[in-house]
């Protein structure tokens, strides 16, 4: 077998196989790292959703410039807030697909005693004209108490203005005007008192992620094992064939030749 490996063509082939094996192991390790990272995120998600709802002011402070954003451990926490909806400032956040359909988030500012909190009241499908905001049920009038999931604020990346009544992102820095105190978060509505009118699709709880990364990691390891086994089989077959050719080239033994004569 060592004689086979000394041949130039097998040296090149073996170097190629080795490079592919290293690549497979590196990719398997990267996918495993992603799986571990998302498993940790899943644990934080489960812990957050298991916590009882608390007033939003217990977790987030409303300030005129909430530039720090939302702490990662507060994402998905259930919170409550009381105030009045500012229906005139409601917007439809564009390009929010759900179940393969394009649509909008309906985001309405809730004016509380501490500041303004953006509330994602739900999802609505897009119509034929994407430049026209969809018609949706109005939020409850008067004093209302909402319960929902706390989400990090989005950042507006588009420089061009959206169509009237629409927005690019659930961005408190853009959707809450002036020096009004605002929360560095928005809330995905789960319930309200008084209840909201029907017509919007509530956003479902997030699911776990990462299983596909585990599968990919195992797949890359299998590819590495199959590649290594295939390389060994080819080298072994070539070694046996070279050994058979050498024996045939030496010719029959003298005693055998005399017997045939």
* 255 in a structural domain: no
| Predicted confidence (pLDDT) at residue 245 exceeds the cutoff of 60 | no
Q: Give the per-residue pLDDT at 159.
A: 86
Q: Which two tokens stand for residue 73?
A: 């451990």
pLDDT at 92 > cutoff 90 = yes
Residues 92 and 7 in one domain: no
Q: Is the pLDDT of residue 216 over 80?
A: yes
- Residue 84 shares a structural domain with residue 161: yes
- Residue 118's domain spans which residues? 51-193
Please give the torsion angle defined by the CA atoms of residues 173, 175, 163 and 168, in that order, rounded to the nearest 10 degrees.
50
pTM (two decimals): 0.73
- Same-domain status, 119 and 229: no
**pLDDT tens-digit profile of 163-193?**
999 999 999 999 998 889 999 999 999 999 9
In this structure, are 161 and 240 located in the same domain? Answer: no
Which residues, other chains included, contact 208 with Cβ-Cβ below 8 Å and sequence gap of 6+?
A: 38, 42, 45
Residues 186 and 219 in one domain: no
Query: In this predicted model, what pLDDT tens digit does every residue of 144-164 receive, in sequence order?
Result: 999 999 999 999 988 899 999
Cα separation, 257 vs 229, whole angstroms = 42
Q: Give whole-number Cα distances, 132 to 8, 74, 209, in Å.
A: 68, 35, 35
């Amino acid at each position: 077998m060592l004689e086979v490996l000394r041949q130039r063509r097998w040296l090149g082939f073996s170097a190629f196989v080795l490079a592919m094996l290293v690549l497979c192991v590196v990719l398997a390790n990267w996918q495993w790292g992603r799986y571990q990272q998302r498993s940790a995120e899943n644990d934080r998600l489960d812990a957050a959703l298991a916590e009882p709802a608390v007033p939003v002011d217990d977790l987030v402070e409303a300030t005129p410039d909430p530039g720090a954003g939302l702490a990662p451990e507060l994402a998905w926490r259930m919170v409550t807030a009381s105030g009045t909806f500012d229906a005139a400032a409601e917007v439809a956040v564009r390009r929010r697909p759900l179940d393969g359909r394009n649509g909008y988030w309906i985001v309405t500012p809730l004016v509380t005693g501490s500041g303004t909190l953006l509330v994602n009241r739900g999802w609505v499908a897009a119509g034929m004209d994407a430049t026209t905001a969809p018609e949706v049920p109005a939020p409850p009038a008067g004093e209302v108490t909402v319960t929902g999931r706390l989400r990090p604020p989005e950042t507006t990346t588009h420089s061009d203005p959206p169509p009237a009544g629409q927005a690019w992102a659930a961005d408190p820095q853009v959707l809450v005007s002036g020096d009004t105190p605002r929360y560095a978060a928005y809330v995905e509505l789960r319930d309200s008192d008084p209840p909201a009118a029907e017509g919007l699709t509530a956003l479902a709880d997030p699911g776990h992620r990462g299983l596909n990364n585990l599968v990919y990691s195992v797949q890359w390891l299998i590819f590495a094992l199959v590649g290594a086994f295939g390389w060994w089989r080819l080298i072994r077959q070539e070694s046996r064939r070279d050994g058979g050719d050498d024996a045939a080239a030496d010719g029959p033994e003298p005693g055998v030749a005399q017997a045939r004569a």
